[in-house]
Amino acid sequence: MEKNPLPRLDTKVEELRNHLLPFCRLSIGDTWTDPQGKHHIACGDSSDKNFIKQLFNKNQAVLAVHDPPYNLVMFEKQSVDEFIDWSYKWIENSYDVLSENSALYIWLGADQNDNFQPLPQFMLMMGETEFKSRSFITMRNQRGYGTQKNWMAIRQELLYYTKGNPDYSVQYTDIPKILKGYYKEIDGKMTDNSERGKSPTIRSGNVWVDIQQVFYRMQENVNGCYGQKPLKAIERIIEASSNENDLITDFFSHSGTTVMAAELTNRKCITIDIDPIFAEISIRRIEYFRKTGKTGWQASNPFAKELSKLNKNQLEEIGIIV
């Protein structure tokens, strides 16, 4: 079982999901409280105002990092208008639980084959809220998708907003090779800008080309979780827009990357997922890290122990290729 990755758990793999659900500790409305007192992982609807209010009680976060499903809510395809109406609800809830001076980051896709929806509609909707737009960040993937008749799609979009006037810590990164250029003659020799610079680092801008896209060979990989965000990207956000011991939140936990990044950067985190399986994965990721020091399962998966009890035929019956 160690070398048999899970298929995407956000698709209609009903037999596998039905097998995994009994191993999940949370149902809708339940919350896992970290025995070390740092984090809370809840299973529930981020657009439900009463649920969010009860979960946070009087606590307020200084940072929210959300990665919503771009056009899927529990496997049901939504129209763009429905997606925006739903998004407005969890954006309002985010505003309510964020402190007077705080930051909001939202990963959001743009379907280049369908008028780039829902990105433009979402951005217009955000203009009707109290949040202030600050930056439009692009993260470059090393792998992409496309056809011979279109440009390869290798970007991920990240929107940055603020509430009030939060602190921001400038982030520096190694100088990526891609930034070499701007040649100039110095003392008779043609040099590029990186040769002329005196610093080994560069101030991070709103185009990120230095972060490795998560794939199966990486330790942080969580099989079954499609579109997993890199820990380095979330850590960069956290370190730019919060301080140690601050409370941060993520309304769409998925693979548990935000709570994992909070653990690594000494922050507290309240995270939510409407799917009990992803909520369980988030819990297990923290537990696994504390036990082994590993940030993911690489060639294994979060439910390897339970699935190892099944034979080849049983695994294939629930959709796992052996």
User: How many folded domains does the chain comprise?
Assistant: 1
* Residue 114, SS3 per DSSP: coil
| pLDDT value at residue 156 | 92
pLDDT by residue (tens digit) across 94-127?
999 999 999 999 999 888 888 899 999 999 999 9
Confidence of residue 75 (pLDDT cuts 50, 70, 90): very low
Residue 240's SS3 state is: helix
Q: Which of 229, 232, 236, 231 is nearest to 171 (CA)?
A: 236
pLDDT higher than threshold 60 for residue 88: yes
128-159: pLDDT as tens digits? 999 999 999 999 987 766 668 888 888 899 99
The pTM score is 0.91
CA angle 281, 283, 288 (to 5 degrees): 90
Q: Is residue 38 packed enough to be buried (19+ CB in 10 Å), middle (13-18) or exposed (0-12)?
A: middle
Residue 245 domain-assigned? Answer: yes
Distance CA 234, CA 286 (A): 15
Beta strands in 35-77 (DSSP E): 39-43, 61-66, 72-73, 76-77
Residues 284, 78: contact at Cβ < 8 Å? Answer: no
User: Does residue 5 fall inside a structural domain?
Assistant: no
What domain range is 225 assigned to? 14-317
Q: Is residue 292 situated within a structural domain?
A: yes
Whether the CB-CB separation of 2 and 300 falls below 8 Å is answered with: yes
User: What pLDDT is recorded for position 146?
Assistant: 64
Q: How far apart are CA 18 and CA 310, in angstroms?
A: 14
- Start-to-end Cα distance in the chain: 8
Half-sphere exposure at residue 7, Cβ-oriented, CA atoms within 13 angstroms: 15
Question: Helix, strand, coil % (nearest 5) of the chain?
Answer: 30, 25, 45
Phi, psi angles (nearest 5°) of residue 70:
-65, -35
Q: Kindly state whether residue 291 falls inside one of the protein's structural domains.
A: yes
Q: What is the CATH number of the domain that holds 221?
A: 3.40.50.150
Which residues, 6 or more positions from 49, have their beta carbon under 8 angstroms from its beta carbon?
A: 89, 92, 93, 96
Phi then psi for residue 248, to 5 deg, are -120, 165
pLDDT value of position 182: 54
Q: List phi, psi (to 5°) of 20.
A: -85, -30
* Residue 1, in any domain of the structure: no
- Residue 11: per-residue pLDDT: 85
Yes or no: say if 44 and 231 are a contact pair by the CB < 8 Å rule. Answer: no
Decide if 2 is inside a domain: no
Amino acid symbol at 123 = M
Contact 237, 208 (CB under 8 A): no
Q: Is residue 88 part of a domain?
A: yes
Please compute, for residue 225, the number of CA atoms within 13 A of its CA located in the half-sphere on the CB side.
33
- The span from the CA of 282 to the CA of 290, in Å, is 13
Nearest to 15, CA basis, from 309, 297, 307:
307
pLDDT band at residue 73 using 50, 70 and 90 as cut-offs: very low
Task: Please check whether residue 209 lies inside any domain of the structure.
Answer: yes
Cis peptide before 200, with omega less than 30 degrees from 0? no
